[in-house]
């Protein structure tokens, strides 16, 4: 048939001048543009940019969320669903009151409850006044000095109602600086020589893998998967390969990661680089829990020093900030979060060693696992085997350096 139907131009829907959803407020648009500046705007940086807005304005207003969606070329629904998933983001809709300027978080997990955090929480709610928001919070990462509280970004242990009140009154809401072994001192004491030996071919790849296997070091984030075997598995996948380091685990006892990070960050970083060399890693993401503000400043500073005067060619390294989601201690949920999404665990298979970050094979490790790599490779497998608690090989080296 050759019949044609004429459609009047007036019946053709015109393109929308703006995306569907809330109209973007001009003032909010200007504030977001000024705030972001040259910051990356790819979708994977959504959580980083939400942090920028939360830190600057103390909340995520509906107007700012709409403007951020426009700036990042995302739908408002995508931005809203991510912002409302994480506990440390305060989403404020039209007509709602903004949260108090100071938030006090009282840890209510096992160690802190045993140390009286429930009574402390009740007392603070009745004594700090209406200008301070007091909330129960999951693990703050200070189980060894429970009960733990955070006043703004200032987390501390041994908390009492009087100590918290003093912190609030004096405006002590920023994390104190840590005093770690810095880059220069670490190099002076032999740091990064192991990694340099690997790069120079002085360390044979097979002998490194064999030593890690013989040492019996297992993942110290909870799953206990043999480290050497994991390196072989990921190395066997087609490149490019990625690495994700999980420092966002929040069970009682995971304060161990913070303890070592505050004191000797480059020992961890060197272990990470050795693992990257052994597996053939091109990009690394370090995912640090939001409660560790002092550690984040330390890592930002020490990574900058490492990159400015690197002892060898570095893979691309990015530090990412968690946002208060316990589930992101699970490896695939962490990967979703690094990609700028809600931290929802993935179904398996495929496993992250096969299809991980951005669809690539990914080596995922806990912080402490990498912390012990240098010592194992310098002293040999025998020393690590002797350290396991109750006869378990490689499981409990933590106690050897604590104290």
14-33 pLDDT, tens digit per residue, is 666 655 667 999 999 999 99
At 218 the pLDDT is: 87
- For residue 336, the domain's CATH number is 3.40.50.11540
Domain count, the chain: 3
Q: Is 144 domain-assigned?
A: yes
Q: What token pair was written down for 164? A: 């918290």
Q: Are residues 110 and 87 in the same domain?
A: no
For the CA atoms of 185, 188, 193, 199, the dihedral, rounded to the nearest 10 degrees, stands at 80
Confidence of residue 402 (pLDDT cuts 50, 70, 90): very low
Checking if the pLDDT of 220 tops 90, the result is no
Pick 233 or 381 by higher pLDDT.
Answer: 233
Residue where a domain terminates, one of 169, 198, 219? 169
CB atoms under 10 Å from CB of 286, counted, come to 22
In 115-178, alpha helices (H) = 117-127, 161-169
Q: Are residues 165 and 267 in the same domain?
A: no
At 222 the pLDDT is: 66
Checking if the pLDDT of 384 tops 80, the result is no
Checking if the pLDDT of 133 tops 90, the result is yes
Residue % of the chain over a pLDDT of 90:
83
At 223 the pLDDT is: 72
As a whole number of angstroms, the distance between CA 37 and CA 56 comes to 13
Confidence of residue 392 (pLDDT cuts 50, 70, 90): low
Q: Are residues 131 and 235 in the same domain?
A: no
Residue where a domain terminates, one of 142, 169, 196? 169
Confidence of residue 403 (pLDDT cuts 50, 70, 90): very low
Q: Is 10 domain-assigned?
A: no
Distances (CA, A) of 318 to 48, 83, 165, 305: 12, 21, 37, 14
Q: Are residues 88 and 43 in the same domain?
A: yes
At 254 the pLDDT is: 84
As a whole number of angstroms, the distance between CA 335 and CA 364 comes to 9
Q: Is 2 domain-assigned?
A: no
Q: Is 8 domain-assigned?
A: no
Among 361, 355, 352, which residue's Cα sits nearest to residue 330?
Answer: 352
Pick 13 or 74 by higher pLDDT.
Answer: 74
Q: Are residues 79 and 201 in the same domain?
A: no
Q: Is 283 domain-assigned?
A: yes
Average of pLDDT values for 379-386? 73
Q: Are residues 272 and 373 in the same domain?
A: yes
Checking if the pLDDT of 339 tops 80, the result is yes
As a whole number of angstroms, the distance between CA 308 and CA 288 comes to 22
Q: Are residues 200 and 296 in the same domain?
A: yes
- For residue 150, the domain's CATH number is 3.40.30.10
Average of pLDDT values for 159-187? 97
Answering whether pTM is above 0.85, one says yes
Q: Are residues 46 and 25 in the same domain?
A: yes
At 77 the pLDDT is: 96
Q: Are residues 159 and 216 in the same domain?
A: no
Summarize pLDDT for 63-117 with one digit per residue, the tens.
999 999 999 999 999 999 999 999 999 999 998 999 999 999 999 999 999 999 9
Which residues, other chains included, contact 250 with Cβ-Cβ below 8 Å and sequence gap of 6+?
A: 109, 138, 139, 141, 289, 326, 329
- For residue 59, the domain's CATH number is 1.10.10.1590
Q: Per 3-state DSSP, what percentage of the chain is helix, strand, and coil (rounded to 5)?
A: 45, 10, 40
Lowest mean pLDDT among 97-101, 316-320, 345-349, 382-386: 382-386
Checking if the pLDDT of 167 tops 70, the result is yes
Among 66, 134, 148, which residue's Cα sits nearest to residue 104?
Answer: 134
Average of pLDDT values for 229-237? 97
Q: Is 97 domain-assigned?
A: no
Domain limits at 279?
Answer: 183-400
Q: Are residues 338 and 248 in the same domain?
A: yes
Q: Is 7 domain-assigned?
A: no
Q: Is 295 domain-assigned?
A: yes
Q: Are residues 163 and 196 in the same domain?
A: no
Q: Are residues 150 and 217 in the same domain?
A: no
CB 62 within 8 A of CB 93: yes
Residue where a domain terminates, one of 144, 169, 194? 169
Q: Which helix (H) or strand (E) holds 231?
A: helix 227-235
């Amino acid at each position: 048939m050759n019949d044609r139907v004429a459609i009047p131009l007036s019946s053709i829907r015109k393109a929308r001048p703006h995306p569907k959803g809330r109209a973007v407020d001009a003032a909010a648009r200007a504030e977001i543009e000024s705030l972001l500046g040259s910051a990356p705007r790819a979708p994977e940086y959504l959580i980083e940019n939400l942090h920028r807005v939360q830190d600057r304005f103390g909340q995520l207003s509906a107007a700012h969320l709409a403007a951020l969606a426009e700036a990042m070329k995302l739908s408002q629904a995508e931005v809203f669903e991510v912002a409302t998933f994480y506990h440390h983001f305060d989403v404020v809709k039209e007509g709602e009151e903004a949260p108090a300027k100071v938030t006090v978080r009282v840890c209510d997990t096992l160690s802190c409850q045993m140390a009286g955090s429930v009574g402390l929480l009740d007392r603070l709610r009745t004594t700090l006044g209406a200008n301070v928001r007091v909330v129960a919070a999951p693990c703050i990462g200070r189980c060894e000095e429970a009960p733990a509280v955070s006043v703004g970004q200032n987390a501390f242990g041994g908390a009492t109602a009087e100590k918290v009140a003093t912190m609030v009154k004096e405006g002590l809401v920023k994390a104190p600086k840590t005093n770690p072994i810095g880059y220069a001192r670490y190099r002076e004491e032999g740091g990064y020589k192991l990694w340099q030996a690997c790069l120079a071919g002085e360390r044979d790849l097979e002998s490194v893998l064999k030593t890690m296997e013989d040492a019996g070091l297992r993942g110290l984030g909870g799953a206990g998967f043999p480290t050497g075997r994991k390196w072989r598995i990921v190395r066997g996948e087609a490149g490019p390969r990625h690495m994700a380091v999980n420092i966002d685990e929040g069970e009682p006892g995971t304060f161990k990661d913070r303890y070592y990070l505050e004191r000797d960050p480059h020992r961890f970083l060197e272990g990470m680089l050795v693992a990257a060399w052994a597996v053939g890693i091109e990009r690394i993401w370090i995912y640090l829990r939001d409660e560790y503000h002092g550690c984040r400043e330390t890592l930002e500073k020490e990574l900058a020093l490492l990159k400015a005067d690197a002892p060898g060619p570095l893979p691309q390294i990015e530090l990412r900030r968690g946002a208060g989601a316990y589930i992101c201690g699970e490896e695939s949920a962490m990967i979703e979060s690094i990609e700028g999404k809600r931290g929802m665990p993935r179904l398996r298979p495929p496993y992250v060693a096969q299809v991980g970050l951005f669809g690539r094979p990914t080596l995922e490790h806990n912080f402490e696992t990498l912390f012990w790599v240098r010592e194992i490779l310098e002293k040999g497998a025998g020393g690590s085997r002797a350290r396991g608690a109750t006869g378990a090989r490689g499981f409990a080296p933590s106690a050897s350096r604590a104290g």
